[in-house]
Every structure is written in C-alpha cells, then in structure tokens.
Amino acid sequence: MLACDGWCNPSNESIWNFVIHTPNHHQYLWSLQNLSNERHTQELLAQEMNQILERIGPENFSASVTGVGVNVQAAHCIVSENYPSILNLRCIAHAINLISKDICGTQFASRIL
C-alpha cells in the first residue's frame, strides 16, 4: 500500500511524505519532500505517486491511501485511471482528526475542555 500525506511544519514549509506499507505490516518512508515552492496540483501529486508505483512496480501495490483534500483526491483519480487494480482509499484517521478539530473549536467544547 502507498500512503501519501502533506502538512506544514513550524517553519510553514509544505512537507509531503510517501510511505509504503507491506503485507507483513512493515512501513518504509519512501520519501519526505519539501514541496513549498510547488503548487500542490493534482498533476504534481499524481506524478509523484506514479513515479513511486513505476519504480517499485504497480503489481506490488493493492491500495493507495491519502487525505481528503480535493487536490489529493483528484490526483488519486488520475492514478486510478492508470492503475485500476489499485484501490483508492481515504485515510479515516485524517478524517477523524478534522472532525475532532471542528468539534473542539466550538464554544460548547471550550467550556467543557
């Protein structure tokens, strides 16, 4: 499985990681890239994902997992067109994190916390 995610570090740099998960539950950080000077378009992200798939061999992947960003999901669609046998999955942990952040930002949660 290929996992792709991006975030901003304390210096406000846009850091993207690409992690490979093997069937025997090992995880390998394939690359960690500073994409601050790049527009995070669907084409750029799809290109990065496609390069990894081609280098390792798409037959070695059953799924790819990303966050819920519009650009990331669009990149996933591009990858899925090239490799229809690779499942396109969204990261549930990312979704729960976003929902929790929204809930904790309410006045109700502020009083309780």
Q: Which amino acid is at 84?
A: P
Looking at residues 20-37, what average pLDDT do you find? 89
The Cα-based distances of 64 to 8, 49, 75 in angstroms read 22, 9, 11
* Domain count across the chain: 1
String of DSSP letters for 86-102: SEEEE-HHHHHHHHHHH
User: Residue 98 is part of a domain; what is its CATH number?
Assistant: 3.30.420
Tokens 């690779």 correspond to 86
**Whole-number Cα distances in Å, 107 to 82, 88, 98, 103, 111:** 46, 36, 17, 9, 6
- Average pLDDT for residues 8-33, to the nearest whole number? 89
**Mean pLDDT along residues 32-45:** 90
The residue segments making up the domain with residue 78 are 2-112
Q: Say whether pLDDT at 94 is over 80.
A: no
> What pLDDT, on the 0 to 100 scale, is given for residue 68?
73
